Structure 1
Amino acid sequence: MKLILSLLTGLFLFLQSSDLEALRNSYSKANLSVEGAKDFIELAEKKSSSDPVISAYKAASQILEAKVTTEKNKRKTFVKAGASSLESIVKANPNNAELRVIRMSVQENIPKIVGYSKNLKEDKTFILNNYSKQNSALKSYIKKFAQQSKTMTAAEKNSLK
């Protein structure tokens, strides 16, 4: 019985990590093109999980939807709903580095006129201070994000090893 439970738990964790890896890969390509954004939105909408990281990617997809929608009057709605959701997820999980990366990337890439950029310095500091505590997959993801980050300096990018 314990063996079956262990196998099921292992399978669940494996499937959840592959879902997360797929979301990470898709998200990293989402800002490169409209097609990449649409692919990420579609992938995120299919995911249902109580995992705060997956929920944060779903919130980011809502915000990104404002970029690709053709209905101008819905853009503000998408941004407000996604930002509100993302903020509540980060507030409930303040020590999760990946949530901080997601929020920082959203705030870096959203037009300044929207006014959603108040956490950039806070998130950058948290990411830099907690980088060494992360697992190797997340460290790799953070490094990749940092290389294209507009907020991190060259010295800060180089400090991530």
Structure 2
Amino acid sequence: MKLLLSLVTAFILFFQTDLESLRNSYAKANQSNENTQAFINLAEKQSGSDAVTTGYKAAAQIMEAKIAKKNRKALVKTGATSLESIIKNNPNNIELRVIRLSVQENIPKIVGYRGGIKDDKAFIINNYSKQNASLKTYVKKFVMQSKSFTEAERATIK
């Protein structure tokens, strides 16, 4: 039985897209330093240069500051600058907004990287219904656990 379960899991993971793998790993990254490191490693291995993949790579840089011993400030600054540039060039991409909002929610306030929370939250609420089914599922999962959304705002995400 265990062998069958292992084979099924391996099969699913093998055929899972890179973007799905990034999403799943990112969703778990803040749970532990091991998950953070796993996400960073996965992001670094990605060869895609599309905006969303690049956004996850920027988030990985920012998150690396959480577990790094040196150059923490530089990692956050480089990652944040990169993420801001990507969003500036792709302002209508809801997944990039989710990435930035989650980073800004979870980064210590003293860092000062919190400027997009209101805009991203409003963008997510206003554009959620226009997304495809898999992206809606991902965004909804994020919104339901996010500290930035009120219960009334969560109710609008169906």
TM-score for both structures, normalised by structure 1: 0.87
Distance 2:68 2:49 in 1: 27
Distance 2:49 2:67 in 1: 26
Matched, 1:146 2:143: yes
RMSD after superposition: 1.1
Question: Alpha-carbon deviations, 1:13-51, whole Å to 9, x = none?
Answer: xx9x71000000000000010001000000000002121
- Supply the AA of the counterpart residue of 2:142: F
Secondary structure at the counterpart of residue 17 of structure 2: helix
Distance (Å, rounded) in 2 between the aligned partners of 1:156 and 1:32: 25
CA distance, structure 2, for counterparts of residue 48 and residue 88 of structure 1: 19
Equivalent residue number for residue 157 of structure 1:
154
- Between the aligned residues of both structures, percent identity stands at 63
Measure, in 2, the Cα distance between the counterparts of 1:59 and 1:102.
9
Counterpart residue number, 2:120: 123
Please state how far the C-alpha of 1:159 moved relative to its aligned partner: 1.2
Show structure 1 runs of 4+ deviating over 4 A: none
Segments of structure 1 that go 5 or more residues without pairing to the other structure are 1-14
1:126 deviates by: 0.3
Amino acid at match of 1:89: I
Partner Cα distance (1:123, 1:69) in 2: 28
Uncovered stretches (5+) of structure 2, i.e. residues with no partner: 1-13
TM-score (norm 2): 0.89
Q: 1:8 maps to what in 2?
A: none
